[in-house]
Amino acid sequence: MDRAHLAHLAACLARAEIAAHDPAGVAALRRALDGPAPPVSVQRHGSVIGYLPGTRLRLVEIDRRGHLVAAYRWGESGRLAWVTCRTADGRWIGVEPDSATHPAWGPSDRVWAMNEHAPWRPAAPITVYQALDYARLDVIPPLAEPRRLPPGAGTALLNVLAGLMQDQGVARARYRGPYPSEHLFTSLLETFRYDPAMHRPLERFLAGEPLDWLPAPHERHHVSRDVCVQMREEVEKVVLGTTAFYRAAFQEVLRREPRVVRGEGDRVVCSLWALGQPFEDRLVLDATGEIVERRSPVDDPRPPAPASPIWRAALASLVARESAPPLGASIRQVMASLRLEWGSVPGDLLRVDGEVIRVSRLLLDAGAARVRAVSPGAERAAPAVRLVVDVARLLAPEVRRRAQMALEALPEDEQLRRWEGRAGAADTPLDDSVARLVALVAGGGS
């Protein structure tokens, strides 16, 4: 092992804020660094994992800049006492095993929002998931109220589990919980890999059919105060402030993302993506994830303007079409309650403020310009459809989140009725508002 990595870890362990997570364990690890077989693992892109000497129990995870990414405290019997981990946007969350119960599955581990200035000082409870035996992990547990997790927290928690499974030699695990969702599937793709022998993995997962997941944890490197890169073979995800940019492809699954990580020669570019091409570049990195250039966000001085009511009806139909069928009614209710407007969204394409959702007017302008570039007639339908569908997919994650909340608020028997009644339903048909909106946009109106 390169002694430079050991020196890097030793310097980190000497810092009081890291040693405080487990003073005795950290002291033992520091002493073991000078031994013939240091209990350390160095990852592909420079992350360093330190273990309790004489065990395969993780103690700390340090990124290449020396930032603590995760810390573990183990009891004398080898049971996990707690773990804390840092999300990509810098928040700290913690897990306290076997500290709660849930009516659906009983014993549960509690997820906490943490005070970042203390090794274990929970600030507020977030949610719970089914209790695990962290010394013998073999399943991916169901999580209660996933919508309550801060952005990136679910990915950080899953990465903790994937890392521990990898240490234990767990080759495969399955999700065992109710209502598997597309959001959970894409979150799992960031920390696991689905069995490549399985065809149509997303469809299998959503249908509740068996699907094996292979642990494949990522590294998170906080390369600046407000930029975190997530890496396995390459840069897969970048969080700039609170905005996440993703690679379009995870294994064979293509993600339709309005914020993308794309290769450009030997550089990695984080771009807003719309109308089938880069819309605005925000950040340029090298292949290792270090910052090469920041781009200033583009502003729009014009005041916001309300969208025509036909947009809400058409977008509701389009979002429902690409969502789990049981959410259809809730999606339409959510869209009816929102106020949609066009306006300035510097550095992004969408802004959510309570019941107001603002879509970048620059996106509307660009889409309208594409329509006008085509001679009047049937050919204008294609760029009009592209604009309408892109706006729908931009809104879809927030609308689905609210629709899921509305569904969870219903009595359990009604929730079950909706899920069972629509489980095998065919694609939700589009209503005529979509055709009318496309015709409006193609005719030069918006």
Largest CA distance in the chain: 77
**How many degrees, rounded to 5, is the angle at CA 275 between CA 271 and CA 279?**
30
| Residue in 19, 113, 117, 108 with CA at minimum distance from that of residue 62 | 19
What is the pLDDT at residue 247?
95
E strands, 131-166, are 139-140
In a structure prediction context, what are the per-residue pLDDT tens digits for the chain, which is 446 residues long? 688 999 999 999 999 999 999 999 999 999 999 999 999 999 999 999 999 999 999 999 999 999 999 999 999 888 999 999 999 999 999 999 999 999 989 999 999 999 977 789 999 999 999 999 999 999 999 999 888 899 999 999 999 999 999 999 999 999 988 778 888 999 999 999 999 999 899 989 988 889 999 999 999 999 999 999 999 999 999 999 999 999 998 888 888 889 999 999 999 999 999 999 999 999 999 999 999 999 999 899 999 999 999 999 999 999 998 887 888 888 999 999 999 999 999 999 999 999 999 999 999 999 999 999 998 888 999 999 999 999 999 999 899 889 888 877 778 777 777 666 655 445 667 889 999 999 999 988 77
At 279, the amino acid letter reads F
Q: What pLDDT is recorded for position 421?
A: 61
Residue 213: its H or E element: strand 213-215
Backbone angles phi, psi at 363, to 5 degrees: -65, -45
Q: Give residue 63's pLDDT.
A: 97
- pLDDT digit string, tens, across residues 38-76: 999 999 999 999 999 999 999 999 999 999 999 999 998
Contacts of 249 (CB under 8 A, 6+ apart): 255
Of 216, 131, 133, 138, residue with least CA distance to 170: 138
* Element containing residue 399 per DSSP (H, E): helix 381-408
User: In this structure, what token pair is assigned to residue 165?
Assistant: 């499974």
pLDDT at 428: 64
Q: Which of 146, 182, 191 is nearest to 164 (CA)?
A: 191
Domains of the chain by residue range: 3-219, 226-294, 305-442
Global pTM reads 0.90
* pLDDT at position 424: 47
Q: Encode burial over 294-312: b for 16+ CB neighbours within 10 A, e otherwise.
A: eeeeeeeeeebeebeebbb
Residue 339 pairs in a beta bridge with 356
The CA dihedral of 429, 254, 283, 147, to the nearest 10 degrees, is: 60
Concatenated DSSP letters of 272-329: EEETTEEEEEEEEEETTS-EEEE-PPPP--SPPEEPPHHHHHHHHHHHHHTS-GGGHH
Q: Are 212 and 173 in contact (CB under 8 A)?
A: yes
